[in-house]
Amino acid sequence: MAVDYASRGIRVNAVGAGSINTPFLTRYLEGLDDPAAGEATIKGAHPIGRWAEPREIADAILYLAGSSVSFITGHILMMVDIVRDSVYGATKRSHQVCGK
């Protein structure tokens, strides 16, 4: 898409967000047999040891949309753990640990 629309002055970028502290995540954890274990497992998949706050994702989006980076197009800013598959693995492990 970035290549298709660049000639029109349209930039196409994306943010690959991992686990975000939202009501959706809260409901997901509450549905597990052991919410605390699920939370620890998911947070443990991130190098920082926590999930993102909504404001952090919004800031990344504003950065990519800003005029100071107007030359960037076709970029995915990954805001997940170092290896993308480990997020899936954490979710999979949380189901195993928590009985879902």
Domains and CATH numbers, the chain: 2-98 (3.40.50.720)
The number of beta carbons lying within 10 Å of the beta carbon of residue 90 is: 22
Helices (H), the chain: 2-6, 23-30, 35-44, 54-65, 84-98
Q: pLDDT class for 94, splitting at 50, 70, 90?
A: very low
pTM of the model: 0.72
**Structure token digits, residue 98:** 């928590």
Q: What is the pLDDT of residues 39-75, one digit of tens each?
A: 998 888 888 889 899 999 999 999 999 999 999 999 9
The residues, any chain, with a CB within 8 Å of residue 97's CB and separated by 6 or more, are 34, 37, 38, 41
Phi and psi, residue 86, nearest 5°: -70, -20
